Structure 1
Amino acid sequence: MYNYDYAFYLKYVLFKKLNYHDHHVVSNLFKNILDISIAILPEYVAKHWKEDDFYGSQFLNAVNPNVIKRCSELPPNFPVTEEMVKLFLEEGSSLQKEMEKGNIFLYDQKKMDGIPPRAYNGEPLTVTAGLCLFYRNPENKLMPIAIQLHQQPSEQNPIFLPSDPETDWLLAKMFIKNADSMDHQAVHHLMNTHFLAEVYTVAALRSFPVIHPLYKPNSNSTIYQMKILNTFVFVFTSFVKAVVEYYYASDSEVYKDTELQEWISEIFTHGFLGNKASGFPAGFHTVEEVIKFITMVIFTVTAQHAAVNSGQFDYYSWVPNGSLLLHKSPPTTKGQSNMNTILETLPDVGETVINYGLPWPHLNMLHVPMGIYPEERFDEPAPKQMIKEFQAELSYLSEEITTRNSQLEVPYTYLNPAEIENSVAI
């Protein structure tokens, strides 16, 4: 069922640092997990994780899709030369030409620079604030072409290339994905969806009575790529605009709603500590402001959360593809690694099982699709009709996405409304 890499790695982790009893128990656990939950995409990841084009595609279509930026000029601390990457570009082209065409992209994890390593079982774990250069080639594939694992260039911080020894290049990619996994979980997943949802919800519970119209779509019973995203924003804005304008006919009604003002004040004051630089308003003055803010809230706890959450099992269950834990320090020279270096860098069996199984319960909680409200909270015919129309638009969008995915080797299902939770489970 599994390819050589997959079987070899499982065998390795099952016997690494274990006595017979341990490996027997964990082996059965692994078998049960695999038998119950293995799906096409995790198996695909296990087969293709070392391939550069699949590696690049994950920075667009996997669990952390918003971290690369088009690069029109190399940062001074990333001294990639034409000679280094010429081999990986279109024949007759150059790095400068490809930057001018908009085909060069940069992953820069500089915000992690200077973070002290944490100790794990007595060993310091290096935080790699790396840089990775990507090239969109004539086949429209996003390919990594240069990696530097620390911010400041030096002889001990070489620029790794696809032409380097296979395990050197693989290690470099693994350390970039390690940092990306940390950034994904801590910032883009937890802070930017779960923790924001907590702020909105706690403020709503403190400020709104249950009969307030904005309590109903924001606090539901679960309290306790670019084209699709743009379509979602349009669909949401249609729905939110209709509901908000039904209850707020003028800006003066927004201004006079003390409960609404208390809600946004709670969010700004206690959630963002009054920081104006956060971009969050301290109060509402117009109906348009309320529409924009409520659209953002609903989008964050539904589509945005799905984009950074739902693919975790698909892409992280094959641990070498993206682990939060790497035991060895990043390579400082070329030509010194081999497959044993790779295996010694990766987590052992217990750590692997935790990494493998951690997302599974969260991804298999009670599923209430987006736009479905199990509790009837609106009594008026007008908002009920608005909800029906919203659900119809989502259903149409779902059919479009399903049709598109049927033609793809690697489907992207995370923004299919039928697969999106109605709210973040806090």
Structure 2
Amino acid sequence: MVDYIVTVATGDLAFAGTFNNVYIKLVGTKGESDRTWLTSLKWPLSFYSGTVCVTVSCPFSIGKLILVELDKQPLFVYLEDNWFPAKVEVKSPEGDTYNFPIYRWITDSEVHRFREATALRVFDDAHPLGKYSRDQELMEREEDYRWDEYLEGIPYSIRSEGPLDLPCEVRFSFTKTTEFLFTAVTGLSELGLSGLSDSTENWPDMETLHRVSCSKLTNILEYVQEHWKEDTFFGYQFLNGVNPMLIQRCSVLPNNFPVTDDMVSLSGQHTLADEMKKGNIFLCDYKRLDGLKANVVNGKKQYLMAPLVLLHKTPDDQLMPIAIQLKQTPADDNPIFCPTDSEYDWLTAKIFVRSADFNEHQLNVHLLRTHFMAEVFAVSLLRNVPMVHPLYKLLVPHTRYTLQINNLARGLLISKTGVFAKFAASGGKALRTILKRSLSSVTYRSLCIPDDIADRGLEDVPNFYYRDDGLKLWEIIHRFVQGVLSFYYIYDSEVQKDSELQMWISDIYKHGFLTQPGTGIPESFTTVAELVKFVTMVIFTCSGQHSAVNAGQFDYSGWMPNTPFTLQRPPPTTKGTTSETTMLKTFPAVNTTVNGMSTVYLLSRQSTDSVYLGQYPLEHFSEKKPRKLIEDFQRDLHELSEAITVRNVDLEVPYTYLDPKVVENSVAL
């Protein structure tokens, strides 16, 4: 007889343990063990204490271990419960140690097979039992993770009736669920806004608005309240607010934006043409919002403009707005507003821009380009790539909670009864149109920050911290991904013949980008370099990019005048007709304001069980090389974090959203 020492670890999660009987079978290249009951002196608490160690005896060595089979059976006095095993470690009589990562809920009495941790590409998996278990896993996953067309013309999502219909392994933890629901239910009271959520009245004055918005102030939100009217801060937000994705260098004025030199005031005697040649003029064009029928809120028609904004980089490196046109088509009733206009003409124009920016940001930059893209990457991974594959091991940490948070977003935010339908200018039919237009504008280059920055001509814009931190973070992620994937794929031909890799990208192209030609999204991989860049983009999108456009929502939108969900009056058609009174009537009503504040508060609250970029509490890799690369990755992220902290000391408005210590691994909020 030969003995195998088996250690089974239960995950450190609420309710992860089980009172059921648990059985294991070891399967090797030369045979298999008997199905063995796992227990210890601590029974029946064995699977609540973290680990249980037993001996599995075989008449002879079963060779190199390929997989383990686990199943649990209910005791006759108990109902079947769920169990979350973390991993199994087996020490063989030959002195070898085998690790089997699991990290999945077992909710039934079926036999579940788990592979040894050494990563295997599909063409490496030569043993018939390995191939069989690989195929069976993918067949089960194809059933569990089915595509669904939520809305025509936007990326597909996972098919589910609700959060509880999702596979257990992708749901929120008990901790995450409890904290999320608590914040959702108590958000208004935590913000001191209880009793205002049903009021459809307008704000009577700015003092009242200030008074009800002073609870839970962050340092940046307090700064926003004090500086929201200033042109310098208005311009700053295009670079370092929650939507740094629209601004671009302007070398030629659009034909529909007839700004002339006598309209604008530039430093010195320079003309617009001169400043454009020098690269000092920038444009923000909200054309995706053009022609939309705005929502009806509180029984009143709302207004959503599609503005064009021209900005000038001054000699002291400030980005200042110099002209705003609130509708796309030039006309006598569509004036171009400038800083030389009356105080409230100019401020009202900026308010309409900020409201347009909110809707563009939420639906395109935030929802579509991070949440929906991350879901496509995750579902395709889970459908096409088994746990033993190196790509699965690399990417699965970046799928954590994404499918449930998106399920909640579809139900609570963008559904016919969601927050956007009730309170946002872009709710209703406009929402679908914006999402469709947004997807048609997505290119591969626009998802890769080095390419995107170059294409928008923003390489040398001063004080652009999103760019500075984002490019550094991209490079760190790229170096890590290159190291890991180059360890497993030395030759381009290995990428080409990996059918699981090819199915992953093909599924993304079909269900994420709807096989749209001309986007630059690869339909297949032909080189290691192509694979490395795409996986870098996936990780950056799910971590850094999402943090950049999500984490600051309460900071910048918690003060409604800076980012109105919607506006109740049309923009002025002639100059000289605005005042503080008209501004207050234009602002959203009280209930719209407080529900908007509560929503962005919820969407900015990280849970206590958040997992940040570079942290891998679930150990999927066992080989020394990738584990060393993870250590290097963590060191590089720590160094970037320290550099950002030092930089921020001297900033009036610190930029923290790409600091690795606050960037989650995945789209989890």
**What secondary structure sits across from 1:133 in the alignment?**
strand
Matched residues in 1 for 2:588 and 2:199: separation? 11
Q: Deviations over 1:209-243 (max 9, x none)?
A: 11211112212243443222221221111100000
Q: Who is 2:490 aligned against? A: 249
**What secondary structure sits across from 2:312 in the alignment?**
strand
Q: Who is 2:573 aligned against? A: 332
Matched residues in 2 for 1:127 and 1:39: separation? 28
Match of 2:348 among 160, 171, 188: 171
Deviation at 1:115, TM superposition (A): 1.8
- The answer to whether structure 1 residue 79 and structure 2 residue 258 are counterparts is yes
Match of 2:537 among 284, 296, 305: 296
Q: Who is 2:151 aligned against? A: none
Deviation at 1:92, TM superposition (A): 2.2
Deviation at 1:267, TM superposition (A): 0.9
Amino acid at match of 1:277: G
Q: Who is 1:142 aligned against? A: 319
**What secondary structure sits across from 2:518 in the alignment?**
helix
Q: Who is 1:51 aligned against? A: 230
Q: Deviations over 1:5-42 (max 9, x none)?
A: xxxxx99x9699569xxxxxxx9xx97x854x311110
Deviation at 1:372, TM superposition (A): 0.6
Deviation at 1:152, TM superposition (A): 1.3
**What secondary structure sits across from 1:107 in the alignment?**
strand
Deviation at 1:132, TM superposition (A): 1.1
Aligned-pair identity (%) = 47
Q: Deviations over 1:299-333 (max 9, x none)?
A: 11111111111111110000100112111111111
Matches within 5 A, 1:269-288: 269-288=510-529
Q: Who is 2:152 aligned against? A: none
Matched residues in 2 for 1:126 and 1:310: separation? 27
Match of 2:621 among 359, 372, 378: 378
Match of 1:159 among 321, 336, 342: 336
Structure 2 CA distance for partners of 1:229 and 1:270, relative to 1, 3 Å = same
Amino acid at match of 2:518: A
Match of 2:244 among 65, 79, 88: 65
Whether the aligned pair in 2 keeps the contact of 1:207 and 1:259 (CA below 8 Å) is yes
Amino acid at match of 1:307: A
Matched residues in 1 for 2:249 and 2:365: separation? 19
Amino acid at match of 2:662: E
Which range moves more in the overlay, 160-169 or 109-118? 109-118
Matched residues in 2 for 1:250 and 1:110: separation? 44
User: Higher strand fraction: Structure 1 or Structure 2?
Assistant: 2
Where do 5+ consecutive residues of structure 1 fail to align?
1-9, 20-26
Q: Deviations over 1:148-182 (max 9, x none)?
A: 11111111111111111111111100101111111
Amino acid at match of 1:360: Y
Where do 5+ consecutive residues of structure 2 fail to align?
1-191, 202-207, 405-465
Whether the aligned pair in 1 keeps the contact of 2:235 and 2:321 (CA below 8 Å) is yes
Matched residues in 2 for 1:252 and 1:368: separation? 35
Identify the structure with bigger relative contact order (alpha carbons < 8 Å, sequence gap 6+). 1
User: Higher helix fraction: Structure 1 or Structure 2?
Assistant: 1
Deviation at 1:256, TM superposition (A): 2.0
- The answer to whether structure 1 residue 355 and structure 2 residue 355 are counterparts is no
Deviation at 1:46, TM superposition (A): 0.2
Matched residues in 1 for 2:643 and 2:621: separation? 29
Structure 2 CA distance for partners of 1:376 and 1:106, relative to 1, 3 Å = same
Which range moves more in the overlay, 395-404 or 204-213? 204-213
Structure 2 CA distance for partners of 1:193 and 1:15, relative to 1, 3 Å = closer
**What secondary structure sits across from 2:321 in the alignment?**
strand
Whether the aligned pair in 2 keeps the contact of 1:16 and 1:348 (CA below 8 Å) is no
Amino acid at match of 1:383: P
Matched residues in 2 for 1:300 and 1:417: separation? 14
Q: Who is 1:6 aligned against? A: none
- The answer to whether structure 1 residue 395 and structure 2 residue 638 are counterparts is yes
Aligned length: 404
Query: Structure 1 length as normaliser, TM-score?
Result: 0.90
Amino acid at match of 1:238: R
Detail structure 1 runs of 4+ shifted over 4 Å in the superposition. 13-19
Matched residues in 1 for 2:382 and 2:532: separation? 20
- The answer to whether structure 1 residue 415 and structure 2 residue 658 are counterparts is yes
Matched residues in 2 for 1:61 and 1:228: separation? 11
Matched residues in 1 for 2:309 and 2:502: separation? 45
**What secondary structure sits across from 2:323 in the alignment?**
strand
Whether the aligned pair in 1 keeps the contact of 2:306 and 2:326 (CA below 8 Å) is yes
Matched residues in 2 for 1:361 and 1:71: separation? 37
Matched residues in 1 for 2:280 and 2:605: separation? 39
Match of 2:308 among 131, 138, 157: 131
Q: Who is 1:100 aligned against? A: 277
Whether the aligned pair in 2 keeps the contact of 1:228 and 1:415 (CA below 8 Å) is yes
Larger radius of gyration: 2
Which range moves more in the overlay, 73-82 or 191-200? 73-82
Q: Who is 1:180 aligned against? A: 357
Structure 2 CA distance for partners of 1:255 and 1:96, relative to 1, 3 Å = closer
Deviation at 1:124, TM superposition (A): 2.5
Matched residues in 2 for 1:274 and 1:93: separation? 47
Q: Who is 1:7 aligned against? A: none
Matched residues in 2 for 1:75 and 1:121: separation? 37
Whether the aligned pair in 1 keeps the contact of 2:200 and 2:591 (CA below 8 Å) is no
Deviation at 1:345, TM superposition (A): 1.0
Structure 2 CA distance for partners of 1:222 and 1:192, relative to 1, 3 Å = same
Matched residues in 1 for 2:262 and 2:490: separation? 64
Matched residues in 1 for 2:338 and 2:317: separation? 20
Amino acid at match of 2:248: K
Deviation at 1:390, TM superposition (A): 0.3
**What secondary structure sits across from 1:105 in the alignment?**
strand
Matches within 5 A, 1:107-122: 107-122=284-299
Match of 1:260 among 477, 480, 501: 501
Structure 2 CA distance for partners of 1:15 and 1:270, relative to 1, 3 Å = closer
Please give the root-mean-square deviation of Cα atoms over the aligned residues, in Å. 2.2
Matched residues in 2 for 1:15 and 1:364: separation? 20
Q: Who is 1:369 aligned against? A: 612
Structure 2 CA distance for partners of 1:152 and 1:18, relative to 1, 3 Å = closer
Amino acid at match of 1:134: L
Matched residues in 1 for 2:357 and 2:602: separation? 23
Q: Who is 1:5 aligned against? A: none
Deviation at 1:191, TM superposition (A): 0.5
Matched residues in 1 for 2:381 and 2:604: separation? 26
Which range moves more in the overlay, 269-278 or 139-148? 269-278
Structure 2 CA distance for partners of 1:18 and 1:155, relative to 1, 3 Å = closer
Matched residues in 1 for 2:494 and 2:572: separation? 62
